A = this chain, B = another copy of it.
Amino acid sequence: MTYCVAMRLDAGLVFLSDSRTNAGVDQVGTFRKMFIFENPGDRMIVLMSAGNLSISQSVRQIIADYKSPAGKSIWTATSMVEVAQIVGDAVRAVHERDAKALKNFNIDFNVSLILGGQIGGERCRMFQIYSAGNFIESQRESPYFQIGEAKYGKPIIDRIINPGTGLDEAAKCALISMDSTLRSNISVGLPLDLLIYKADSLSVSHFVTIDEKNQYFKMIHDTWGQQLKSVFDGIVDPVWDVAVTAQSEPIRVSAPQALRTAVAASPLQAVAQDGEQRQLS
């Protein structure tokens, strides 16, 4: 499994990937999932991948070597959407080559990619590319993409990230999102690759590989868990009688009393009937 997240903000781009791959829990490996194509002053492009490792490695190899009949490559494309098309074409080339053989072994052709970056005077752009080689682009209303094990880490991003979020704050949010994912799914693992790109800088602004010794990530891991627990403790427990407290009205209590009366009045079969009516109403 994998977890990668990228954010496109007014201030620039944030990319974060884990590095665990596995073929069953008895075969776990470490492979980096973030690839940087950088020509400082001209372009800064990041590609992150999830899915079958042989497919994503093949895609990357094809991209690195790619030249269109007209001589266009990832290094000469004049816009990010051209790069997305090159990546999509590479996915299709690998599909053409490998999909049938994989199917003979009941292996799905499964790869998903996040591509982001900036070329020359164009704005920062970010794409999610599917197994079919088609892709979607991030908009202001959807400022982040996730691939791989996305769900555990999604709620915190939904609550924090908007296009105005600063780069460091977004990096912090991505790391908390990753921390929740690491905790819930052992097939996602350290080290992490974190890359920050300031809009219009046309080169990597910050890049760091985070392992278990990284003090900042350890601090986030410890602090977030403790603080969450203390926020949880600070919320009042539900109140089950009709007294109204200052902070909250009690939960409305219903049904059971009526159910119990019905049960007392009639034999067992009636309980099932009553229960059934109550569920479907």
Is A228 interfacial (CB-CB < 8 Å)? yes
A228-B159, A235-B223 known; A251+B39 contact, CB < 8 A:
no
Number of copies: 2
| Those of A234-256 within 8 Å (CB) of chain B | 234-240, 247-256
Docked CA distance A163–B210 (Å): 34
A37-B275, A172-B232, A184-B154 known; A255+B216 contact, CB < 8 A:
no
Please give the distance in Å from A66's CB to the nearest CB on chain B.
Answer: 10
Residues of B within 8 A of A158 (CB): 183-184
Is A71 interfacial (CB-CB < 8 Å)? no
Stretch from A5-13, A128-136, A259-267 that touches the partner = A259-267
Is A225 interfacial (CB-CB < 8 Å)? yes
Q: Is the CB of B215 within 8 A of A248?
A: yes
A184-B154, A237-B171 known; A208+B251 contact, CB < 8 A:
yes
Docked CA distance A210–B278 (Å): 15
Q: Is the CB of A280 within 8 A of B32?
A: yes
Docked CA distance A34–B276 (Å): 10
Chain B residue nearest to A206 (CB atoms) is: B240
Chain B residue nearest to A194 (CB atoms) is: B251
Docked CA distance A253–B184 (Å): 27
The secondary-structure label for the interface of chain A is helix
Chain B residue nearest to A231 (CB atoms) is: B227
Residues of B within 8 A of A173 (CB): 232
Q: How large is the interface on A (under 10, 10 to 19, 20 to 34, 35 or more residues)?
A: 35 or more
Q: Is the CB of A216 within 8 A of B251?
A: yes
List 27 A-B residue pairs with CB atoms under 8 Å apart, sorted by A's residue number. Answer: A31-B280, A38-B259, A39-B271, A40-B260, A151-B184, A152-B154, A152-B155, A155-B184, A156-B228, A158-B184, A159-B183, A159-B229, A160-B229, A171-B238, A172-B237, A176-B232, A196-B240, A203-B260, A206-B240, A207-B254, A208-B253, A209-B252, A214-B251, A215-B250, A216-B238, A217-B251, A227-B234
Extra 19 A-B pairs, beta carbons < 8 Å, given A152-B155, A176-B232, A194-B251: A32-B279, A34-B279, A38-B260, A38-B275, A64-B276, A152-B152, A154-B184, A160-B232, A171-B237, A204-B259, A206-B256, A207-B255, A209-B254, A216-B248, A217-B251, A219-B247, A220-B235, A227-B235, A231-B231
* Ranked 7 nearest A-B pairs via Cβ: A215-B249, A151-B151, A168-B237, A227-B231, A64-B272, A32-B279, A207-B256
